[in-house]
Amino acid sequence: MKKLGILLSMTVLYTLGILYLGGENPTVIHADERVSIEEVKEKEVQLKKKESDAERFSEPKKKSEQSKTTVNVEATAYTAFCEGCSGTTYTGIDLRANPNKKVIAVDPDIIPLGSKVRVPGYGIAVAGDIGGDIQGHRIDVFIPGQSDAMEFGRRQIEVEILS
C-alpha cells in the first residue's frame, strides 16, 4: 500500500512537471533547486514522525466543563393516564403510546425544550413538556403509573443538562 502511495505521488508530481525522471538519478525540481527522491522520502518520514509524536504527546481531549451544566431543581412526577390528561406533551410526544419514554416537563427559560437531561434516580430524559405549575427551577418527571408517580413525591435534586 505504501509503494502504491509513493507511485501515485510520483505520478502526480511528474504530471505537474515537478518531477523529472530523466537520467539515472530521478530528481525533484523545486524553486530552481534539485532534490533527490531519497531526500524527499527522508523529509516525508521526518514529517510523519513529528505528526505521530504530536498526536501521542498531546493532552487527551477532555469534556469541556463549560458544556456540562447542572441545575438544582425541585422535582415532582406526573402521569399521562389520569382523568383529564391528554397524554400528549407540549412537543408532541404521545406518552400513552410510549409509556417507557423518559420525558420531563421543564421551564424552557431554565432548561431548553428538546434538551437531554440526566435526572438522578430516573435516567436520561428529554425535556419535552411544560406545565402550568412548572416555573423556575422545577421539573415534572413522567412516570406511567399513577401510584408510582405519587410515590415519587417531591425532591430537591441536581440535574445535568447534556445537550
Render pLDDT for 52-89 as a digit per residue (tens, 0 to 9): 666 655 555 444 444 579 999 999 999 988 777 888 99
The pLDDT of residue 18 is: 58
Q: Give the model's pLDDT for residue 65.
A: 41
Which domains are present in the chain?
2-57 (no CATH), 69-161 (2.40.40.10)
Which of the two residues, 114 and 21, has the higher pLDDT score?
Answer: 114
Q: What is the DSSP string of 59-99?
A: PPP---TTT-EEEEEEEEEE-SSSTT---B-TT--BTTT-T
CA 140 to CA 44: how far, in whole Å? 60
Please provide the average confidence, as pLDDT, over all residues in the chain.
80
State the cell numbers at 106.
421543564
- pLDDT in the model for residue 78: 92
Q: What does the pLDDT look like over 81-130, one tens digit per residue? A: 877 788 899 999 999 999 999 999 999 999 999 999 999 999 999 999 99
- Specify the DSSP class assigned to residue 136: S
